[in-house]
Structure 1
Amino acid sequence: IDEEKYNEAVRELEEALALIRNKASLELVNLFFCEELPQMFGTYNPRENTLFTSEDTLFFYGEPKNCTYKEIEKGLYQMHFKVEIYLLDSDNNVLFGEMNYLDFPLTSRARNSEIFIFDDIPVKQLDLSPGNYKFRFILKDVLSQKTTEAILDFTVVE
Structure 2
Amino acid sequence: MSALAQSPANPPEAFKNALAAYDQAWSEAGLSFMTAVFSTGRSSGFGRYTPRGDAVFTDEEAINIYAEPVGYGFRETDGGFAYELTADYRLLTNSGQVLAEQENFATFSGSGRSRQRELSAALTFQFSGLPAGDYQLETSFTDEIGGATSAFTLPFTVSAAN
TM range (shorter): 0.7 to 0.9
Higher mean alpha-carbon deviation, 14-23 vs 142-151, is at 14-23
Task: Report the equivalent of 1:14.
Answer: 19
8 A Cα contact 1:137 1:151, kept in partner: yes
Q: How does 1:25-40 map to 2 (within 5 A)?
A: 25-40=30-45
CA contact (8 A) 1:28 1:139 kept: no
Q: Which residue of 2 aligns with 1:46?
A: 51
Aligned to 1:154: 156
Deviation at 1:87, TM superposition (A): 0.7
How far has the Cα of 1:9 moved from its partner?
4.5
Aligned length: 153
- Counting aligned pairs with the same residue, the percent is 24
Task: Output one character per residue of 1:88-118: Cα deviation in whole Å (capped at 9) or x when no partner.
Answer: 1111111111111112232211111110111
Which amino acid in structure 2 is aligned with residue 18 of structure 1?
A: D
How far residue 13 of structure 1 moved from its aligned partner, in angstroms, is: 3.3
2:108 and 2:121 in contact (8 A); partners too: no
Q: TM-score, length-normalised on structure 1? A: 0.85
Q: Which runs of 5+ in 2 are unaligned?
A: 1-8
Asked which structure has the greater CA Rg, the reply is: 2
Query: Cα distance, 1:86 vs. partner?
Result: 0.8
1:4-153 residue pairs with structure 2 within 5 A? 4=9, 6-7=11-12, 9-73=14-78, 76-124=80-128, 127-153=129-155
Higher helix share: 1
Q: Which residue of 1 aligns with 2:4?
A: none
**Is the deviation greater in 29-38 or in 128-137?**
29-38
User: Which contiguous aligned blocks of 4+ residues in structure 1 show a shift greater than 6 angstroms?
Assistant: none
1:55–1:98 Cα change, 3 Å: closer
CA RMSD in angstroms comes to 2.1
TM-score (norm 2): 0.83
Distance in 2, Cα, partners of 1:33 & 1:93? 22
Contact 1:26 1:67 in 2 (8 A): yes
DSSP 3-state at the match of 2:125: strand
Partners of 2:146 and 2:63 lie apart in 1 by 31
Structure 2 CA distance for partners of 1:121 and 1:137, relative to 1, 3 Å = closer
CA deviation profile, 1:18-47 (whole Å, cap 9, x unmatched): 243122221023111112211111111111
The equivalent residue for 2:5 is none
Q: Give how far 1:17 is off.
A: 2.1
